[in-house]
C-alpha cells in the first residue's frame, strides 16, 4: 500500500480515471493507482478536490492535515471502521488498574532497552564510552518491577530519557549539537527532526488504531488530555528510538542534512526544516517505515516496520479482549 506525502505549497490533489493525481504549480503531475493508496498526508496550503475527498471517504483513505512546520491539525476519515463492542472492552480495561500498570511496565521496559541499543550503535561508531550511562538506564528498567503505580513507571521513564538524550548530545555531529529534549517550538535541528517525526508516527498509529475499531483517546498509560489520542501516545513509546531518533541521527551524522536545510522562525521562535530538507526527511522516514525486519518475537518472518506497527495493535486487541497483558509483546531491537 502507498502513503502520499504532499508538501509542495500550491499543489492540488484530485482523482482522474481511478488514479489519485497531484498537480504542482510548475505543471508537473504525479499519480498513484487508487487501489494502492492508504493515506494522504498534506503539509500546508494544498488543495483537494471534492471528487478526491468523496473517493477517499468511499475507499477509507485517511487524509491528514499538518501545517508547513509539521503541526497536526486533524484528519478526514470515513466511519466504516467503527466497532462498538471492541470499544466497550477497551473502555472497561481503562478501569483495570493492575492491567494498566502491568502494560505500562512492559512498554517502558522495551522503550528504555531500545534507547540503550541506539546509544550503543552510535557510540560504537565513534568509540565513545557510554558504559556508565547504560548502567544508569539499566537501573531504571530494573526498578520497573518494583513500581506500584503508573506515576512511578513514568518517573523511571523520565529519568532514563534524560540520561539518553544527554548521551545522544555527545554522539551527534558537533554542528548539530543539542543539550537535551525541547519542543513547542524545537530550538535546534535534532529536536526539530524528532518533533516532526513523533508527530508523523503518532498520527500514523492513530489511523491504524481507529482502523481496528479502537478509540484512540482511551489511553492506558498516559493521562487523558483534551483532544489528544493518548492510546496512540502509549503505543508510540516503543517506536520512538527505533524509528524516529535513529533516522534523525543517521541523517545528521551522515550529512544527509546540513545546517542550510534548517531555518530559525521569525514570526515564531524555533528551528524548522527548509522545503528541500523537509522532503529529504519525510522520504527517509517513509523508507524506514518500509524497511523489513525480524524484531517481532511472535512471527518467524520479516515484516516492514509499518506492518509491525499494525501487528502490534492486533496484539493490543488480543490483550484487552483476554484481559491478559502477557499477550502484548513489545518490540525490542538488537
Q: Are residues 159 and 46 in the same domain?
A: no
pLDDT tens for the chain, 334 residues: list them. Answer: 678 888 888 899 999 888 999 998 888 888 889 888 888 988 888 999 999 999 888 888 889 898 887 788 888 887 777 788 898 999 899 889 999 999 999 999 999 999 999 999 988 877 788 999 999 999 999 999 999 999 999 999 999 999 999 999 889 988 888 878 887 788 889 999 999 999 999 989 998 998 888 999 998 988 776 668 899 999 999 999 999 999 999 999 999 999 899 888 666 788 888 989 999 999 999 999 999 999 998 988 999 999 999 999 999 999 999 999 999 999 999 8
Contact (CB, 8 A) for 58 and 186: no
Last residue of one domain, picked from the residues 76, 92, 122: 76
HEC string of the chain? CEEEEECCCCCEEEEECCEEEEECCCCCEEEEEHHHEEEEEEECCCEECHHHHHHHHHHCCEEEEECCCCCEEEEECCCCCCCHHHHHHHHHHCCCHHHHHHHHHHHHHHHHHHHHHHHHHHHHHHCCCCHHHHHHHHHHHHHHHHCCCHHHHHHHHHHHHHHHHHHHHHHCCHHHCCCCCCCCCCCCHHHHHHHHHHHHHHHHHHHHHHHCCCCCCCCCCCCCCCCCCHHHHHHHHHHHHHHHHHHHHHHHHCCCCCHHHEEECCCCCCEEECHHHHHHHHHHHHHHHHCEECCCCCCCCCEEHHHHHHHHHHHHHHHHHHCCHHHCCCCCCC
Domain-embedded: residue 332: no
Together in a domain, 184 and 60: no
Total domains in the fold of the chain:
2
Same domain for 228 and 88, yes or no, is yes
Determine, yes or no, domain membership for 100.
yes
Phi, psi of 95 (to 5 degrees): -95, -5
Answer whether residue 202 is part of any domain: yes
| 45 and 101 inside one domain | no
Residues 25 and 21: their CA atoms lie apart, in Å, by 13
Domain carrying residue 323: 84-327
pTM for the full predicted model: 0.85
Amino acid at each position: 500500500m502507498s502513503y502520499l506525502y504532499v508538501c509542495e505549497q500550491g499543489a492540488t490533489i484530485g482523482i482522474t480515471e481511478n488514479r489519485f493525481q497531484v498537480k504542482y504549480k510548475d505543471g508537473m503531475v504525479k499519480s498513484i493507482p487508487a487501489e494502492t493508496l492508504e493515506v494522504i498526508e498534506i503539509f500546508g496550503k494544498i488543495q483537494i478536490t471534492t471528487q478526491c475527498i468523496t473517493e477517499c471517504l468511499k475507499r477509507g483513505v485517511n487524509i491528514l492535515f499538518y501545517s508547513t512546520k509539521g503541526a497536526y491539525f486533524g484528519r478526514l476519515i470515513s466511519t466504516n471502521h467503527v466497532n462498538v463492542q471492541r470499544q466497550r472492552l477497551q473502555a472497561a480495561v481503562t478501569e483495570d488498574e493492575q492491567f494498566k500498570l502491568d502494560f505500562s511496565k512492559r512498554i517502558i521496559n522495551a522503550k528504555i532497552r531500545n534507547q540503550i541499543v541506539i546509544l550503543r550503535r552510535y557510540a560504537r561508531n565513534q568509540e565513545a564510552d557510554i558504559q556508565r550511562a547504560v548502567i544508569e538506564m539499566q537501573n531504571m528498567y530494573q526498578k520497573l518491577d518494583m513500581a506500584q503505580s503508573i506515576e512511578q513507571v513514568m518517573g523511571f521513564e523520565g529519568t532514563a530519557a534524560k540520561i539518553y538524550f544527554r548521551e545522544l548530545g555527545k554522539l551527534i555531529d558537533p554542528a548539530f549539537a543539542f543539550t537535551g529534549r525541547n519542543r513547542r517550538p524545537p530550538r535546534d535541528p535534532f529536536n526539530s527532526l524528532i518533533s516532526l517525526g513523533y508527530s508523523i508516527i503518532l498520527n500514523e498509529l492513530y489511523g491504524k488504531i481507529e482502523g481496528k475499531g479502537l478509540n484512540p483517546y482511551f489511553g492506558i498509560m498516559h493521562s487523558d488530555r483534551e483532544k489528544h489520542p493518548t492510546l496512540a501516545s502509549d503505543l508510540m513509546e516503543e517506536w520512538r528510538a527505533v524509528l524516529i531518533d535513529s533516522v534523525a541521527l543517521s541523517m545528521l551524522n551522515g550529512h544527509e542534512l546540513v545546517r542550510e536545510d534548517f531555518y530559525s522562525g521569525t514570526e515564531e521562535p524555533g528551528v524548522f526544516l527548509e522545503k528541500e530538507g523537509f522532503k529529504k526527511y519525510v522520504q527517509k522516514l517513509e523508507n524506514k517505515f518500509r524497511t523489513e525486519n525480524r524484531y517481532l518475537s511472535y512471527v518467524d518472518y520479516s515484516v516492514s516496520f509499518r506492518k509491525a506497527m499494525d501487528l502490534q495493535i492486533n496484539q493490543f486487541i488480543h490483550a484487552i479482549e483476554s484481559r491478559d497483558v502477557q499477550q502484548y509483546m513489545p518490540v525490542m531491537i538488537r
